Structure 1
Amino acid sequence: MKFLYAAAWIVGIALMGQSVPILNHLFYLALILVIVLLLLQLLQLLQLFLFKHKHALILQFICGLIYSMLFLTVGYHYAQSALQQRLAYKETKVEDAEVIVYIAKINQLGAETIQQEIQVLNRHVQPVQWLGFQKRISDEQAVLELGKYYRLTGEIRPAHSYAVRGVFDVEQWYLQRNLMSGFKLKHIHPLSESEISALGYTNYLRKQQGVLNKIQLGIEHQRLNIRHFIYSQPLSHKGLILALLTGDESFLDKETTAFFQRFGISHLLAISGPHVLIFAVMLCWLLQKVLNRYWPQIFLKIPRPYALLLPFCCCVLLYCAFVGFEIPALRTLLSCFCLSVLIWLRQKISALTLLLLSASLLLLFDPFSILSAAFWLSYGACFVLLRIYQTTIRLDLTRPQSWQKKLVFSLKLLVESQWKIFVALMPLVIIFFKQVSWVSPISNLVAIPLISLLVVPLEVLAAFTFYLFEPLSSLLFQLADWVLVFLLGILNVLDELLPIKLYAIALNSWQVILLILLLIIVFMPKPSLPKSWLVLGLIPLLGFSSQNSPFELIVLDVGQGQAVYMQHGQQHAMIDVGGSYDESKFSVAKQIIQPFLSKQGVSQLDQLILTHLDQDHSGSYATLKNELSINQVYSNQQLDVATTSNFNYCQQGQIWHWSEQVEIKILSPKANQLAQVPYQQNELSCVVYIQVKDVQPYQYFLIMGDAGWQTEFQLLQDYPDLKVDVLVLGHHGSRHSSAYAFLKHYQPKLAIASAGFHNRYGHPSTVTQARLKALNIPLLTTVEQGSIGFIVQPTGIIELTIQRQTRQWLQSTDSVVPNAIALNGSQPH
């Protein structure tokens, strides 16, 4: 039952930011549960007199279930309380500001920018942490120094996520790292401690003089010294050397990171348990040798294992502080502390219980760790390794004893562990990254021994000797660098022999859940569920999805651009695919469209309609056409398509019947206008009209592309009786589209503007918003609501879904849906 209690606590924390009505009344629910538990405990004391053994087990099960519900409820509200406290300091508006800051951590150097965590003293009643951005000009430029105070002027840049299913949540990342905003630095003015005191921050100044803060600052200075020392060495892979030692990725270039990702070994760049343990074991071994030589009698008073526990834990704590208390290192720290306490108390505990206890304690100290992929991957990998270990110790006790056979056995175990870890972590990799490297087991088989057994120990020794004898430290770093050269040489050979790339995995949520259940069957002990059940589970997993999937239309949040996804049954289509001004710096295709389609379980599109070829509507197509199968492409201009795709011009009169319920039409441009498209690209956008029959309250959708007044007037002439329930405003809500007469004639129930956060065009225009307000037409925008979806329910009602309402940190006062929309008959979710 203890496993269940810990798991319930973790699940409760994992619900952070979500609305769970049944758990909202904490006091009353907890009170009822406690009363019931007391009654059950009383009955359990009397079970020898009132119950037989069978009934006692049932009572114990019920009691455990209620305890689990209590742990889940408390965990949920504990997480919600922590979330509300942190959200109170979150910045939401872009504005210029002057702030007083203190620098407590080292910066991170990028190719173009310098990122620096800053503690802001004058924004709220208590200091808050922001992430400062400074343009990197040269290595000699002035930077913010550790332990110094500054007056900074610049621009507050709040974190703003692309609120799309399956896409990396920047706001969640900021929240998890306790960063309340971004800040673009413009001017830097140093302040002395006397000036800080005169400004009224004496208490904060005194706090920084405390022992713990001085130790933390000293550790940061040592991290900076190590960075400078490695940078000064003639090493081929300075970025890898530094990242593997301290987790500092300042010298790590994008090409190396992408290379490790393609091979599925990027997890090795994170500071993990072995890094921490190697350092602790080395120092404790050295301490043991010293004690054996100069003070051996201590082991007569204190048994050897107990005598080394405290130094071991101190070493683990020191290295965790040295690498910035990253989650994998914290996992090791808490596990070591728990195990040490249990050893001192002479208590036995299973490895799985220790793992769950460590996770529970970590979430008690920092519930926001649950938002990190590192938490799930770290503990997930440990769980799999425990399962492999349990399998190993259950092997025949007569296994080979000679060193040759032991070596073969160890190599076999290493190979087995790699494919098991790869398979077992597949669901988590799909959930967090939506792509996988199939060569990962092979590359890990090569990389893990070299990095864990050679590179990391050499680096730890090099860092230790840096404070004793720098030439020896330099030599050890050079040896580690040579091992990395050898490793990358092997990987480069593999790269030439095999088509190594990251493959997108398209599985929807139900398929991922099914995959998890199948893997549980695979890794359960043999007497458990029959493995033949795997065959039944593989059928839906391999793509035999329902032919009756309901109609769904989603206006995606792609920033200052447009992308609309449609699905009905087995048909999948998109109208525009967005695109950033520079896809090489931020790829809408790779960062938004592909993860979203993978989350939907979509591996190919039947149709793609590009309303026109502006970058913000079609820019990501150049990437998508090489990564995604697209059967048919339509646009108002010719463009290069993949060899597997067909191209046609979109023109008035085209109709596609997806079913008896769904019909798609092109209303503009006319065939004789196509020759004018190069001169009127926006105005002659493909205007798409979608009708969904026998549903309420939204049946008719009109998507205008970047068309303006001229096209709107033409539509009024050609389609005076057109019914419009949902209008996706032309040109992102520009003042030169959505004319008053056009809006008044069609009178849509809902208008949608697809626009970017803090865009320089001011879309949607205040003029357009005024027109809509005058006509009582509700307006939703992807800036404020994120992705906006419409999905047909079995009852025939189209449900309106707002992505920014799915998590509390995505919500703001602007993201609240206007009441008028609910009055039209659809309740947003």
Structure 2
Amino acid sequence: MTRAARWWPVHSLLAACPPGAVVVGVCWGVQQLAALPSEQASRAWLIAGLGLLALGIALGSGLGRWRLRAAARPVSAILVLVGLAFATGGWALLRAHAGLASRLPPALEGMELVVRGTVLDMPVPSAQGWRTRLRIEAIESPAGLSAGPITARVSWPSPEAGRPGAEPVAGRDAPFVAGEHWRLALRLRRPLALRNPGQFDAELRALEEGIDALGTVRVGPRAAVRPQRLAGMSFALPVLVERARTALRDAIERALADQATPVRGVVVALVVGDQSAIPADHWERFNRTGVGHLMSISGLHITMLAGLGIWSVRRLWRSGLRLPGRGGPAPPAAWLAEPHAAWVGAVVCAFAYSAIAGWGLPAQRTCWMLAVAGFALLAGRARGAREVLCTAAAVVCLLDPWAPMAAGFWLSFAAVAAIIWHGSRMRLGQAGADPAMASPRGSPRRPWRPRAIARVRAVLGEAWRSQVAATLALLPLGTLFFASVSLVGPLANAFSIPLVSGLITPLALAGGGLALLPGPLGDWVLQLTAWLTEALLAALAVCDGWRWASLVIPEPEPLALLLAVLACALLLAPWPIPGRVWAAGGLLPLLFTPARAPPPGELWLTAFDVGQGMAVLVETSAGRLLYDAGPAWSGDSDAGSRVLGPSLRARGIHRLETMVISHRDTDHAGGALSLLRQLAVDQVASSLPDDHPVVRSAARHRRCRRGDAWQWGDTRFEWLHPADDDPPLARRAGANPLSCVLRVQSPAGSVLLPGDIEAAQEAGLLDRLDATALRADLLVAPHHGSRTSSTAGFLKAVAPRWAIFQVGYRNRFGHPAPAVLQRYREQGIGVLRTDRDGAISIRLRAGAEPRIALSRREPPRYWRMSVPEAADAEAP
């Protein structure tokens, strides 16, 4: 028995589905831990697992005299599976320990540090300036500070940074390039992110990407040092790849400078993976039409390029080319068989494009699938597609133990698995001939026209079957991860996939490469690419304009999700099933799940974590009201698009009866326009001037006026402030005194929403109203807990059980003020804070204690950072 044949049972075992499922399952399970075991225990698990794995492989492969009978082979399989589970768990835990240990120490937060570091990434433009990763190698000042190497995502501000509506700085020369060494003044903080239901977990992504801190380069006159480029340059391979990406992006930007930003942004995203130039409203359109996966580095694009590599190598191998050898010139097949060489070409093309495109998760999945398939073919043991898929998933998880927590991981593998399950029974490297295109032996070759028609029909049929399989498979996952289903997705993908993967992406890559060379050819190719992209965007706009382009579906219940998965499996089963169409009934509980709403007699309140801003959702059995829409940060980034929209969609909420904008400050009104584009809002109530964009965009607008009230079922809403006769001085002093103050009263309890009123307005409310008119169970702290609000008399009159402070982590205003916090505690008021607790959900019910859920703590996860603070007073 040859050595390869002796070891092949091991390869076969490791390539089978159960080991791959064990690796994925263990990696997913580790990420559910609230706390990590000790590093010593994790290392012991890894060592024990490797030992069991080695023993199982040795027994199963029959090394030396350890030959087992067939009946005893399951023993080796069990040892392999158990050892693989222990080794995978230990490896994932050690990776997690290493990631947490390298995070920025809390003692260094907010300090201005003088550091030396190396730029690691391609500079990415934004409205704030430029972003990149910086490897901090030494801290020079303050003296005496020491920390291990820190990888920080830093922003280099532009002169327009921080201005509302500022555009990205694309088109200008970045102040740095990958590989340069710099001496900078930085202000760093831990990568603590906003935490809301249904929102992307940025803290987990930072851990996965090795981001230990977030920072801003100090460039003003008050900086400790001016940015100084140091001598030398890093020539590590990843840095060289990043410099190549930068050159490609800049060449495309120059060639398409006259094109619209969305067109230019899509072309750049398809080539180098930089999606910063694609506007937020276009991302919303891509997601509603179900083509968002095509506008990033999709596995389809990589597969297309791999196919191009296969075709090129086969042409080269059949061209008569002769290569030098020991016995003289010989054809390439003498060195490597054509099928093997074709797979090598496919893998090389896939990895090269994925590196240029940023090495995202879909790219990793496709590359490792191709690599596993190529390895099996080179070993002479071509495996089935299912085994290759499972092995690729295991490889991705071993390289990135956090991968199973990403939606893209499950979407990528589920789509391919569905296509395989539905109709692909081919073994890699053994693609059979199409009967429609074959001619009986000895018969004359069929004319080219029938052969071409048969080939086109076969390709279109396979594409249609694959699209149906992928669409059905992604239906349950789309509702789970994105709370929406695109009804026009099959149609939009039918023309978008061949256009993007077959034309736009190859032309963009060719044009980008040619644009680096002298001559106008690259510009011509890129202009053609831009014209095709513009046509694609126009077609998608038509699809998106249909009323029922997409459905918003609440996050499914486990039983509904399980029924939908079983229904999809039956509908896609590759064998005949009587009455198969009735399996579609299993999708109905998923598609027609109503949005969760309070039952009669309950009042729900959610204070979103929007940073330094305000956004509170009040829900009754008869309607929903959103009080303020959070801040606008810069450009098209605001709380409406990044926080409120995803959180509301996860609840299945696509309509608001009322949206209140308390006043015009951007930390309260900044996300309103984004929400008006995403949701149906019956009316907007505000103190905004008539020419404000939110007022002009609202379907119906009314002013909040003291004394006005309305009723939703048994819940009463009443405006307590402002009044039409407020003194003009208040209007000249700023927007805070004009904040709409809303009191919500129901049998379940009462809520007071005061906006940004300050001491003078609080005194006015006390003068005009008696204590019962202000009394509330829940109070959102006025003006985020500033020193000029929350007077002792006001708190005594309201007498809340709980107070909510909506504040940003380490905000520059110092909210909430320590003296104000002490004032609340002295009156026995329980304190909740969004910077520490994340989004705060409270359910009030008559005769029962409030049910409070804190997003940062529920469910607990080991990677979530805490905000240290003294214990709050317990609620009475």
- Which TM class, normalised by the smaller chain length? 0.7 to 0.9
How far apart are 1:306 and its partner, in Å?
3.9
Pick aligned residue for 2:134 from 107, 112, 118: 118
Q: Which moved more, 1:481-490 or 1:775-784?
A: 481-490
Per-residue CA shift, 1:4-23, capped at 9, x if unaligned? 54334324423555446999
Name the count of aligned residue pairs. 771
Does structure 2 conserve the Cα–Cα contact (< 8 Å) formed by 1:634 and 1:647? yes
Pick aligned residue for 1:331 from 355, 362, 365: 365
* 2:638 paired with 1:587: yes
How far apart are 1:319 and its partner, in Å?
3.8
Distance across 2 between alignment mates of 1:351 and 1:173: 30
State the AA in 1 paired with 2:785: G
TM alignment of 1:73-472, pairs within 5 A:
78-91=91-104, 93-110=109-126, 113-122=129-138, 125-136=147-158, 143-156=175-188, 158-185=190-217, 186=219, 187-193=226-232, 214-231=236-253, 233=255, 240-249=266-275, 264-271=290-297, 272=299, 273-274=302-303, 276-278=305-307, 280-281=309-310, 284-285=313-314, 288-289=317-318, 292-294=321-323, 295-296=329-330, 299=333, 303-306=337-340, 313-390=347-424, 402-403=450-451, 404-434=453-483, 438-458=487-507
Distance across 2 between alignment mates of 1:12 and 1:188: 45
Indicate how the Cα distance of structure 1 residues 251 and 395 shifts in structure 2: closer, same or farther if over 3 A, else same: same
How far apart are 1:252 and its partner, in Å?
6.2
Per-residue CA shift, 1:548-607, capped at 9, x if unaligned? 756532211122322222335x44423413232578632322322222111111222345
Does structure 2 conserve the Cα–Cα contact (< 8 Å) formed by 1:167 and 1:595? yes
How far apart are 1:115 and its partner, in Å?
2.0
Indicate how the Cα distance of structure 1 residues 562 and 348 shifts in structure 2: closer, same or farther if over 3 A, else same: same
SS in 1 for 2:414: helix
SS in 1 for 2:815: coil
Per-residue CA shift, 1:279-328, capped at 9, x if unaligned? 64366346525774344466457544345655654454444333333322
Does structure 1 conserve the Cα–Cα contact (< 8 Å) formed by 2:556 and 2:593? no
Does structure 2 conserve the Cα–Cα contact (< 8 Å) formed by 1:275 and 1:456? no
SS in 2 for 1:668: strand
Does structure 1 conserve the Cα–Cα contact (< 8 Å) formed by 2:30 and 2:92? yes
Pick aligned residue for 2:552 from 505, 509, 514: 505
Distance across 2 between alignment mates of 1:144 and 1:318: 24
Question: Which residue of structure 2 lines up, in the alignment, with residue 197 of structure 1?
Answer: none
* 2:650 paired with 1:599: yes
Distance across 1 between alignment mates of 2:512 and 2:761: 68
TM alignment of 1:56-67, pairs within 5 A:
none
Does structure 1 conserve the Cα–Cα contact (< 8 Å) formed by 2:656 and 2:680? yes
State the AA in 2 paired with 1:686: V
State the AA in 1 paired with 2:151: Q
How far apart are 1:366 and its partner, in Å?
1.6
SS in 1 for 2:809: coil
Distance across 2 between alignment mates of 1:621 and 1:457: 39
Question: Which residue of structure 1 lines up, in the alignment, with residue 442 of structure 2?
Answer: none
Distance across 2 between alignment mates of 1:398 and 1:613: 69
Does structure 2 conserve the Cα–Cα contact (< 8 Å) formed by 1:8 and 1:72? yes
* 2:773 paired with 1:729: no
TM alignment of 1:769-780, pairs within 5 A:
769-780=821-832
Question: Which residue of structure 2 lines up, in the alignment, with residue 818 of structure 1?
Answer: 871
Does structure 1 conserve the Cα–Cα contact (< 8 Å) formed by 2:195 and 2:201? yes
Q: Which moved more, 1:136-145 or 1:412-421?
A: 136-145
Distance across 2 between alignment mates of 1:776 and 1:67: 59
How far apart are 1:804 and its partner, in Å?
1.4
Indicate how the Cα distance of structure 1 residues 742 and 222 shifts in structure 2: closer, same or farther if over 3 A, else same: closer
How far apart are 1:331 and its partner, in Å?
1.8
* 2:816 paired with 1:764: yes
Question: Which residue of structure 1 lines up, in the alignment, with residue 28 of structure 2?
Answer: 14
SS in 2 for 1:355: helix
How far apart are 1:746 and its partner, in Å?
5.7
Indicate how the Cα distance of structure 1 residues 28 and 690 shifts in structure 2: closer, same or farther if over 3 A, else same: farther
Does structure 2 conserve the Cα–Cα contact (< 8 Å) formed by 1:504 and 1:598? no
How far apart are 1:101 and its partner, in Å?
0.8
Q: Which moved more, 1:491-500 or 1:449-458?
A: 491-500
Pick aligned residue for 1:555 from 599, 603, 607: 607
Report 1 or 2 for greater relative contact order, CA contacts < 8 Å, sequence distance ≥ 6. Answer: 2
State the AA in 2 paired with 1:442: L
Distance across 2 between alignment mates of 1:327 and 1:134: 27
Unaligned runs of 5+ in 1: 46-55, 194-204, 694-698, 825-829
State the AA in 2 paired with 1:243: A
Q: Which moved more, 1:68-77 or 1:99-108?
A: 68-77
Does structure 2 conserve the Cα–Cα contact (< 8 Å) formed by 1:279 and 1:460? no
Pick aligned residue for 1:542 from 589, 592, 608: 592
SS in 1 for 2:395: helix
Q: CA RMSD in A?
A: 4.8
Does structure 1 conserve the Cα–Cα contact (< 8 Å) formed by 2:23 and 2:88? yes
How far apart are 1:787 and its partner, in Å?
0.8
Q: What is the TM-score normalised by the length of structure 2?
A: 0.74
How far apart are 1:443 and its partner, in Å?
3.4
Does structure 1 conserve the Cα–Cα contact (< 8 Å) formed by 2:598 and 2:604? no
Distance across 2 between alignment mates of 1:606 and 1:499: 23
TM alignment of 1:624-773, pairs within 5 A:
624-625=675-676, 627-631=678-682, 640=695, 647=702, 649=704, 651=706, 654=709, 656=711, 658=713, 663-664=715-716, 666=718, 668-669=720-721, 673-676=723-726, 679=730, 682=737, 685-691=740-746, 693=748, 701-709=751-759, 712=762, 714-715=765-766, 718-719=770-771, 724-744=776-796, 748-773=800-825
Identity of aligned residues (%): 20
Question: Which residue of structure 1 lines up, in the alignment, with residue 534 of structure 2?
Answer: 488
Distance across 1 between alignment mates of 2:399 and 2:515: 33
SS in 2 for 1:122: strand
Does structure 1 conserve the Cα–Cα contact (< 8 Å) formed by 2:322 and 2:332? no
Q: Which moved more, 1:780-789 or 1:152-161?
A: 152-161
Indicate how the Cα distance of structure 1 residues 88 and 388 shifts in structure 2: closer, same or farther if over 3 A, else same: same
* 2:619 paired with 1:567: yes
How far apart are 1:439 and its partner, in Å?
3.8
Indicate how the Cα distance of structure 1 residues 390 and 648 shifts in structure 2: closer, same or farther if over 3 A, else same: same
Distance across 1 between alignment mates of 2:796 and 2:135: 52
State the AA in 2 paired with 1:128: I
Indicate how the Cα distance of structure 1 residues 388 and 225 shifts in structure 2: closer, same or farther if over 3 A, else same: same
Indicate how the Cα distance of structure 1 residues 816 and 477 shifts in structure 2: closer, same or farther if over 3 A, else same: same
Does structure 2 conserve the Cα–Cα contact (< 8 Å) formed by 1:611 and 1:685? yes
Distance across 1 between alignment mates of 2:717 and 2:535: 55
Distance across 1 between alignment mates of 2:101 and 2:352: 33
Q: Which moved more, 1:106-115 or 1:245-254?
A: 245-254
Does structure 2 conserve the Cα–Cα contact (< 8 Å) formed by 1:636 and 1:686? no
Question: Which residue of structure 2 lines up, in the alignment, with residue 524 of structure 1?
Answer: 573
Distance across 1 between alignment mates of 2:280 and 2:674: 18
Does structure 1 conserve the Cα–Cα contact (< 8 Å) formed by 2:285 and 2:544? no
How far apart are 1:121 and its partner, in Å?
0.7
Q: Which moved more, 1:579-588 or 1:762-771?
A: 579-588
Distance across 2 between alignment mates of 1:592 and 1:141: 32
SS in 2 for 1:814: coil
Q: What is the TM-score normalised by the length of structure 1?
A: 0.78
